[in-house]
């Protein structure tokens, strides 16, 4: 398996533009997580899905952020409009929720820079 795939790997955009980050989880995994990592705030969970359904979006910063999972093999995180403070590395992770053991597999991340 190729692991979790994220695209793009790097994104540079100007303030006010729409940004869409993409994630393909590991085949067979039923949970998907979006994280944001910055030096100041560390690794923060933004939202997670189980069986394509959003379970917890309490970490989504504000209405400018939205996430979808239209099927088991694809998810998007959209920021509209983007702001400089959104600059961070965004990680997608997936796991096979087997009850007590929920090891997560991370993608390589998308480094977002908003100018």
Partner 1 sequence: SQQGEEDPQALSIQEGENATMNCSYKTSINNLQWYRQNSGRGLVHLILIRSNEREKHSGRLRVTLDTSKKSSSLLITASRAADTASYFCATDARGNEKLTFGTGTRLTIIP
Q: Which residues bind partner 1 (CB under 8 A)?
A: 4, 31, 33, 42-43, 45, 48, 50, 55-56, 91, 93, 95, 97, 100-109
Give the shortest CB-108-to-partner 1 separation in angstroms. Answer: 5
Between 17 and 102, whose beta carbon lies closer to partner 1? 102
Provide the terminal-to-terminal Cα distance of the chain, rounded to the nearest Å. 36
Between 37 and 81, whose beta carbon lies closer to partner 1? 37
Give the shortest CB-53-to-partner 1 separation in angstroms. Answer: 13
Between 62 and 100, whose beta carbon lies closer to partner 1? 100
According to DSSP, the β-strands at 10-13 and 110-114 are parallel
User: Three-class SS of residue 13?
Assistant: strand
Give the shortest CB-16-to-partner 1 separation in angstroms. Answer: 28
CA dihedral 12, 70, 68, 49 (to 10 degrees): -120
């Amino acid at each position: 398996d190729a692991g979790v795939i994220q695209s793009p790997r790097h994104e540079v955009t100007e303030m006010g533009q729409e940004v869409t980050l993409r994630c393909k989880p590991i085949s067979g995994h039923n949970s998907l997580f979006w994280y944001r990592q910055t030096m100041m705030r560390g690794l923060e969970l933004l939202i997670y899905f189980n069986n394509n359904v959003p379970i917890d979006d309490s970490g989504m910063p504000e209405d400018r952020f939205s996430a979808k999972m239209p099927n088991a093999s694809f998810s998007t995180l959209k920021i509209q409009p983007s702001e400089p403070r959104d600059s961070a590395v965004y990680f997608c992770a997936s796991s096979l929720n087997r009850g007590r053991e929920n090891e997560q597999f991370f993608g390589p991340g998308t480094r977002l820079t908003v100018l």
